[in-house]
Amino acid sequence: MKRSKTMEFGVGLFMIAGILGLVFLGLRVSGLTLSAPNQSFQLEANFANIGSLKPRARVTMAGVTVGRVESIELDTQWYDARVVMSLDSELEGQLSRDSIASILTAGLLGEQYVGLSVGGDPETLEDGDAIRDTQSALVLEELIQQFVSNMASN
């Protein structure tokens, strides 16, 4: 009887460890964290085409994640996509006004994210400012369509 209880206890511990592992993996994949939110500031950027960019997508500089996309909405004045990004507070006052925001793709068919490139202007962006120089997403379907139409005209 004692061996049966020990076996049940071991199986129970194994099940709890498995469930905790699945929760951990789910949080890592989704980008959510259980830690307290760190200080951040927000910047906006307008893009003609955002492709399949989603809220909570990464914002990177030189390959290092420095923030997340907070929201995406249609700018009804210019009919562009307005992307609001939340960046680490240590970057506030460090990004020049002529910085470039580009929508990039991880791999050939991977997720899309925002890449920031710093310019040389001595004036810097502050909380709530907009990045004026942007590069829209390269949409694979549009590139294939261009290629096919160019081949058909030749």
Contact 78, 134 (CB under 8 A): no
Looking at residue 24, its pLDDT comes to 87
Please give the biggest Cα pair distance in the chain. Answer: 83
Report d(CA 43, CA 118) in Å as an integer.
14
Looking at residue 83, its pLDDT comes to 96
- pLDDT-derived band at 31 (thresholds 50, 70, 90) equals low
- pLDDT-derived band at 33 (thresholds 50, 70, 90) equals low
Looking at residue 99, its pLDDT comes to 95
Of 68, 73, 65, 75, nearest in space to 41 by CA: 68
Report d(CA 41, CA 125) in Å as an integer.
10
pLDDT (tens digit per residue) in 99-148: 999 999 987 778 899 999 998 889 999 999 999 999 998 877 888 888 89
SS3 assignment, position 34: coil
Residues in the chain: 154
Looking at residue 93, its pLDDT comes to 85
Residue 57, judged by CB atoms within 10 A of its CB (0-12, 13-18, 19+), counts as buried
- pLDDT-derived band at 6 (thresholds 50, 70, 90) equals confident
Does 80 score more than 80 pLDDT?
yes
Contact 50, 103 (CB under 8 A): yes
One-letter identity of residue 71: S
Averaged pLDDT for residues 79-85: 95
